[in-house]
A and B are shown apart, each in its own frame.
Chain A
Amino acid sequence: SAVISQKPSRDICQRGTSLTIQCQVDSQVTMMFWYRQQPGQSLTLIATANQGSEATYESGFVIDKFPISRPNLTFSTLTVSNMSPEDSSIYLCSGQSAGSEAFFGQGTRLTVV
């Protein structure tokens, strides 16, 4: 099973600033995903991080707000740009190879004040 290290684990940020979240997988995975989870809610997929190309965003999420990088098969970043209090949430990354289970980082609890 893969281990995913996600950081920071939590942060409190001022509105209008940006935060970059990093995920490092200890082995190569085919796919990496970024999710957002509001308290007590399910996970909402933000985007699929594609190695060496632009991420694939889900409806309601755009690259200008959530730029994503994936320079190789083990690393990805998500930036939450120009933050507002509505962006306060838990952000989760996951890694998966086709047909196998998805593994998750420990999450980043973001509070925007």
Chain B
Amino acid sequence: SQQGEEDPQALSIQEGENATMNCSYKTSINNLQWYRQNSGRGLVHLILIRSNEREKHSGRLRVTLDTSKKSSSLLITASRAADTASYFCATDGGTGGSYIPTFGRGTSLIVHP
């Protein structure tokens, strides 16, 4: 069964705007990862955030993690048309848990030029 659930399912914005996607999960985790997927191709790893971390940055990406609310957010600042893709969160672990990433349904992001 899926652990993470992304919200919204679809997001449409103009180039230059910020895009925020959220991920909620049900059980405790070791790590949460965000991925991007273009047009049914392979997944590109964006950021891994561990359960003892609250925020990570990578270029225009900012990921936050709130373990008390069992949620994470991915912020893409100053979006570009090339950011158009599906974004997935994946969780793994928890005490005695598996390292196998479990994926949510994804957010489809469209950035209009």
Interface residues of A (CB under 8 A from B): 1, 4, 6, 31, 33, 35, 37, 39-43, 45, 48, 90, 92, 94, 96, 98-107, 109
- With A92-B42, A107-B40 already in contact, the answer to whether A43 and B103 are too (CB < 8 A) is yes
| B40 interface neighbour in A42, A90, A96, Cβ under 8 Å | A90
Q: Please, could you name 15 A-B residue pairs with CB atoms under 8 Å apart, sorted by A?
A: A1-B45, A33-B100, A42-B103, A43-B43, A43-B88, A94-B43, A96-B101, A99-B99, A100-B48, A101-B45, A102-B101, A104-B35, A107-B40, A107-B42, A109-B40
From residue A36, how far is it (CB to closest CB) to chain B in Å? Answer: 11
Interface residues of B (CB under 8 A from A): 2, 30-31, 33, 35, 40-45, 48, 88, 90, 99-106, 108
Q: Across the two chains, which residue of chain B brings its CB closest to A100?
A: B48
A-B interface pairs (CB < 8 A), number: 56
Question: How many angstroms from the CA of A84 to the CA of B100 in the assembled complex?
Answer: 28
Main SS at interface, chain A: strand
Q: Across the two chains, which residue of chain B brings its CB closest to A108?
A: B42
From residue B87, how far is it (CB to closest CB) to chain A in Å? Answer: 12
Q: Across the two chains, which residue of chain B brings its CB closest to A92?
A: B42
